Structure 1
Amino acid sequence: MLGRFFKKPADPSKVPPGQTVTDRFPVLTYGPTPRVEKNAVEIRVWGLAEEARFTWEDLMRMPQTTHTYDIHCVTHWSKLDTTWTGVSVPELMRRVRLKPGATHVMIHSYGGYTTNLALEDFVRDLNLLAHTFEGQDLEVDHGGPLRLVVPHLYFWKSAKWISGLEFLDHDEPGFWERNGYHMRGDPHNEERYSGPW
């Protein structure tokens, strides 16, 4: 049965330890799926940054970037050569005025989900606020109309339905981190869980 969904990668060196490649895009979400219209999307910025708000229209006026990269889920699947379009995080951050001492960001989502990132993991050229997947509007089950994509970490860090950026002077666990997941989540180091399980 599983053989229908998983395949051997053309280049095994692209796949982190403990991962299996799939052609599918599994949907894994805790809680109900938020339904947010594009014209209602708003990214709020607060904490150790000057307060700001970016609407869908604001984001669409920014330069758009397309990247192709591999994504890796903590539940052991990897999907290779996925193509995403959106606003790069560095592009957005050119419009954010951080206050002294900011070292981390808590990502907030419609529906109440949160996940934490160190600034050096957040402000990377390949990270996107993505609205398009494989040339199509991002489906709601996969985080549409707007999600964060952080390809170098396990995919729970790529928060769906992003709604806010709270800048902090310390690391603080988000939803899954409070429930036993690793604070960083590097797939190449198998940083899946924080405990000895």
Structure 2
Amino acid sequence: MDSQDLRGKRRLPEGQYLTTKWPVLHAGTVPRFDAKTWDLHLFGEIEQECRFRFEEVMELPRVTYRCDIHCVTTWSRYDNVWEGVSLAAILERVKPNQRARFVTAHCEQGFTTNLPLEELMKPGVMLALKHDGAPLTPEHGYPLRLMVPHLYFWKSAKWVRGLEFTENDRAGFWEERGYHMLGDPWVTDEQNPDGQRFRDDPLWFGSDDPAAYEQWRKEIEQKRREVLSL
């Protein structure tokens, strides 16, 4: 029987497959890292725009957090231990103003993902530097990835280079291609009592184009098979 999380729900969301491996899935190639030129840019609706050099990020106070991760391609992995810089500490330094309601994470190669600011204030959200006691590998986001433990894993964007604070929500890379703007793996428990996967509904997909939805479902199934073959 699946263990229960603190909210009394199944630990493994309906339709997910448990793995002890950590599949590598991303769009594009793995970027090269140069500590001499790398920085983290925080800008937009904040009182103090700033850039952190890599050595400055490494000097910020660290936090650790244990959580399960759930990928929209249907794999889940239990008991991941993350270490990194607390987003709460970053927010305290840059001080979002009253207009700031959303955040866009800007990553290498133009990748973006969007989140409500309030989601970044929840427990465990960080800019991760380590996973299970070891530095992140390039394939998993080294040197820095956003970690949002309570949402689908695509929201934990790899290779973060900037956080833009905005008044209005703007769809990111996958969200523009139909993924849900929030991506809560547990939304089915609250809104779909018959147990059907909410993400399998075109309303979750975010598009009313049947052809686009079917293509997306085929891609998800292909990725699921790849994960299960690992």
Match of 1:11 among 3, 9, 24: 3
Q: Deviations over 1:59-103 (max 9, x none)?
A: 222211111100000000000001111011101111112233110
TM-score under structure 1 length normalisation: 0.90
Return the offset for 1:55.
1.8
1:194 paired with 2:206, answer yes
Task: Tell me if the contact between 1:38 and 1:145 (Cα under 8 Å) persists in the aligned partners.
Answer: no
1: CA distance between counterparts of 2:170 and 2:120? 14
Question: Which whole-Å CA distance do the structure 2 matches of 1:185 and 1:17 have between them?
Answer: 15
The normalised TM-score by structure 2 is: 0.78
- Which amino acid letter does the alignment assign opposite residue 121 of structure 2? V
8 Å contact from structure 2 (residues 67, 149) kept in 1: yes
Give the Cα separation in 2 of the matches to 1:90 and 1:155. 20
Question: Which sections of structure 2, spanning at least 5 residues, go unmatched?
Answer: 5-9, 188-197, 214-230
Measure, in 2, the Cα distance between the counterparts of 1:36 and 1:84: 21
CA contact (8 A) 1:90 1:125 kept: no
Residue in 2 that maps onto 1:115 = 113
Correspondence for 1:135: 133
Q: Which residue of 1 aligns with 2:40?
A: 43
Q: Quote the RMSD (CA, aligned, Å).
A: 1.6
CA distance in 1, matches of 2:69, 2:27: 19
Q: Are residues 1:27 and 2:24 paired?
A: yes
Structure 1: give runs of 5+ residues left out of the alignment.
Answer: 1-8
Partners in 2 of 1:26 and 1:41 — Cα distance?
A: 26
SS in 2 for 1:148: strand
**Structure of greater Rg:** 2
Q: 1:40 to 1:138 in 2, by over 3 A?
A: farther
What is the SS of the residue equivalent to 2:109?
coil
CA contact (8 A) 2:2 2:12 kept: no
User: 1:41 Cα shift?
Assistant: 3.3
Tell me the SS of whatever aligns to 2:69: strand
Specify the SS of the correspondent of 1:14.
Answer: coil
3-state SS in 2 of match to 1:115: strand
State whether residues 89 and 124 of structure 1, in contact with CA within 8 Å, keep that contact through their aligned partners in structure 2. Answer: no
Q: Deviations over 1:96-138 (max 9, x none)?
A: 1223311000000011100000011112231110111111110
**Higher alpha-carbon deviation: 177-186 or 118-127:** 118-127
> Which structure ranks higher in relative contact order (CA pairs < 8 Å, sequence separation ≥ 6)?
1
CA distance in 2, matches of 1:39, 1:123: 30
* Identity level (%): 43
The answer to which structure has the higher helix fraction is 2
With 33-42 and 125-134 compared, the bigger mean Cα shift is at 33-42
Letter in 1 for 2:100: A
Contact 1:148/1:162, CA 8 A, preserved across alignment:
yes
Aligned residue-pair number: 189
* Moved >4 Å (runs of 4+): none
Q: Separation in 1 of the partners of 2:38 and 2:16? A: 33
Provide the residue aligned with 1:54 in structure 2: 52
**Cα distance in 2, alignment partners of residues 160 and 89 from structure 1:** 15
